[in-house]
Amino acid sequence: MRWLRLLFFLLIVRPAVLFLLGLFVRREDLLPKRGPAIVVANHNSHLDTLVLLSLFPLRLLPNVRPVAAADYFSGDDTTLGWIATHLIGIIPIRRRGTALENKRDDPLRPAGEALARGDILIIYPEGTRGEPEKLAKFKNGVAYLAERFPEVPVTPVFLCGLGKAWPKGERWPVPLLCEVFVDPPLRWCGDRAAFVAELEARVAAMAKLGDFPGWDHEPSAADEKRALDKEEGEQGGGEAGRNR
Amino acid sequence: MRGWFDLSPTLLAALGGIFGLLVAASLVIWALRRAHPEKDYTELVLRTKSWWVMAAIFTAALLVNRVTALVFLGIVSFLALKEYLSIIPTRRADRRVLFFLYLAIPIQYYWVSIGWYGMFIIFVPVYMLLFLPLPMLVIGQTQGFLRAVGTLHWGLMVTVFSLSHAAYALMLPAAPNAIGAWRDPHTGAALMIYLVVLTQLNDVAQFVWGKLLGRRKIIPAISPNKTWEGFLGGVLTTTALSAALGPWLTPIDLKNAAILGALLGVAGFVGDVTVSALKRDLGLKDTSHFLPGHGGVLDRVDSLTYTAPLFLHYVRYFCY
């Protein structure tokens, strides 16, 4: 299975990500080079995981594990579940309030075990793909993990454009460019709420750097920033005019 | 199928010339860096490296056979269209329409490959124009309809229809009215090399003349770095180069080669500025970061989107 996964990424995922999507990564060198580590990203598309996994060298691939909802992805009986488990290599989490919930067990236990093994975890704190190209509120599971493993670096990543290439609810992806922003890693700061707020702020700040517009008639973070810049520019121009 | 071994000596010399120029450029940059170690030449170095890679892929695609050359140009169209669709605002409802836009690329290049000029020349401007609104009508979102149908078709015209004219130059020898040297199967490759090399050299010449002598801004609202000196120097250089290259490499005579050189120089400038206006409207510096030092594919082929159709039609009407 390990070889199948490597071949799947080498022959299918990487060429597709490079040719059909096209990647531009800013500050790629800030990505963790060894585990244990946590990568935190915004989530708009199934492509997010494929793109993030393509950013790591093949020798690290067996240790890079996306954390995903067990109720959605796991089980060999569905195609999606089989792909997620064997090719993508997810760590299934039994979410609270779903049929698979185990009340006596900590839902984050498998993620903790992976970190203890030295794996690199990919976590989407928004919890779901949500609205395309929009940031949702972060959940605090990642803070519980960071608290338990205070020495593990947490690297915030922002993915731009994939919510347009393949948003939730669409059957097929279309080829569109994708931009990836990487921020310097964070360490556990001693407070869960503050930690999640810091992560959220970092990702939101990177969202303003994105080049690609959101859907027409549905403004994205980049559009709002552009509108703000324009307003400031006009105000600046006005002041300069008055000075003259 | 034409293989590398039966390319004409002139064509091989022309291809060799491209690499000779690259060697010269690399040496000049190396000397500049030695003479001024304090200056930053990173962008120039990146740009030249990208030129090497582009020239190598272009030459390889041409050397193998006509099909690989057409596939290569189809891929350039695909990359340029993908950039365009990524940077313009689109409606979520039009995702399916984007599929059809991509699908138009293999179809358009198929018409080129079978040399069906009539279909090649009307497929995008007429049939795609008529077809594109249909999926939008089925989806039924009228808000933003005009903008969507206009921007999507314009992008298809620029990145697929215009660029496929460079591919059609490869097919010209098969045209029924071709006579004499025009029927020579090497002529297609020669015309394509002539068009692409002159267009790209024109870009470089305008850049270099602008850097050396540039003073009077030509179009400050769109491209503040473009000057009259760069524009005129580029057009004159391209005209001279064209007059020298045309009659040697292709069956085009001296008079037409000189006119074509001036035409390519002016058209290349307009294409460049058109894409600059697009980027300015969208608040971008480059269309992507695909080619280090250059920006995106659309930044590189912007002048070709104007020169390719004008070149093809000029040659078809005046040189045969």
H or E element that contains A55: none
φ, ψ of residue A182 to 5 degrees: the values are -120, 135
The pLDDT value recorded for residue B285 is 83
Collect all residues with Cβ–Cβ distance below 8 Å to A48 and sequence separation of at least 6.
A41, A42, A124, A129, A159, A162
The two tokens of residue A119 are 């794996």
pTM of the model: 0.89
Report the C-alpha gap between A167 and A174 in whole angstroms. Answer: 10
Interface test with A, best of B81, B84, B86 (most A CBs within 10 A): B86
pLDDT tens, per residue, chain B with 320 residues: 445 445 788 888 888 999 999 999 999 999 988 888 888 888 889 999 999 999 999 998 888 888 999 999 999 999 999 999 999 999 888 988 999 999 999 999 999 999 999 999 999 999 999 999 999 999 888 888 999 999 999 999 999 999 999 999 998 887 777 787 788 878 888 999 999 999 999 999 999 999 999 899 999 999 988 999 999 999 999 999 999 999 999 999 999 999 999 999 999 999 999 999 999 998 888 888 888 888 889 999 999 999 999 999 999 988 87
Q: What is the pLDDT of residue B63?
A: 85
Measured between CA atoms, how close is B247 to chain A, in angstroms?
Answer: 39
The minimal CB distance from A226 to the residues B92, B98, B283 is found for B283
Q: Which has more pLDDT, B220 or A2?
A: B220
Task: Give the nearest partner residue to A216 out of B85, B91, B290, using CB atoms.
Answer: B91
Nearest-Cα distance to chain A for B153, in Å, is 17
> Residue B267: what pLDDT?
97
Dihedrals φ, ψ of B265, to 5°? -60, -50
Q: What is the pLDDT of residue A52?
A: 94
The alpha carbon dihedral of B2, B8, B10, B14 has a sign of positive
SS (H, E, C) A84-135: HHHHHCCEEECCCCCCCCCCCCCCCHHHHHHHHHCCEEEECCCCCCCCCCCC
pLDDT value at position B20?
94
pLDDT at B97: 93
Tell me which residues of chain B have a C-beta less than 8 Å from any C-beta of chain A.
78-79, 82-83, 85-92, 95, 98-99, 102, 143-144, 147-148, 282-284, 288-290
The rounded distance, in Å, linking the Cα atoms of B141 and A102 is 45
User: Which of A24, A172, A215 is nearest residue B288 as measured by Cβ atoms?
Assistant: A24
Nearest-angstrom CA–CA distance, B268 and B205? 11
Domain chopping of chain B, boundaries: 4-319
- Residue A232 has a pLDDT of 59
Give the model's pLDDT for residue A100: 67
Which tens digits make up the pLDDT trace of A157-205?
999 988 889 988 888 899 999 999 999 999 988 888 899 999 999 999 9
Output the pLDDT for position A22: 86
Mean pLDDT of chain A: 82
Which among A176, A228, A230 is the top mutation candidate for probing chain B, defined by the most B β-carbons within 10 Å of its own β-carbon? A176
- Considering only residues B238 and A8, tell me which one the structure prediction assigns the higher pLDDT: B238
Q: Mark yes or no for CB contact A175/B88 under 8 Å.
A: no
Using CB atoms, pick whichever of B91, B99, B289 lies closest to residue A215: B91
- CB distance from A176 to chain B under 8 Å? yes
pLDDT in tens, A83-131: 887 888 888 887 776 666 666 677 788 888 889 999 999 999 888 787 7
For residue A71, pLDDT beyond 60 = yes
- Are B92 and A218 in contact (CB < 8 Å)? yes
- Residue by residue, what is the 3-state secondary structure of chain B? CCCHHHCCHHHHHHHHHHHHHHHHHHHHHHHHHHHCCCCCCHHHHHHHHHHHHHHHHHHHHHHHCHHHHHHHHHHHHHHHHHHHHHHCCECHHHHHHHHHHHHHHHHHHHHHHCCCHHHHHHHHHHHHHHHCHHHHHHHCCCCCHHHHHHHHHHHHHHHHHHHHHHHHHHHHHHCCCCCHHHHCCHHHHHHHHHHHHHHHHHHHHHHHHHHHHCCCECCCCCCCCCEHHHHHHHHHHHHHHHHHHHHHHCCCCHHHHHHHHHHHHHHHHHHHHHHHHHHHHHCCCCCCCCECCCECHHHHHCCHHHHHHHHHHHHHHHHC
Q: What is the ipTM of this complex?
A: 0.86
Q: Which residues on A lie below 8 Å from B87 (Cβ)?
A: 177, 211-213
Write out chain A residues lying below 8 Å of B282, CB-based: 213
Residue A122 pLDDT: 94
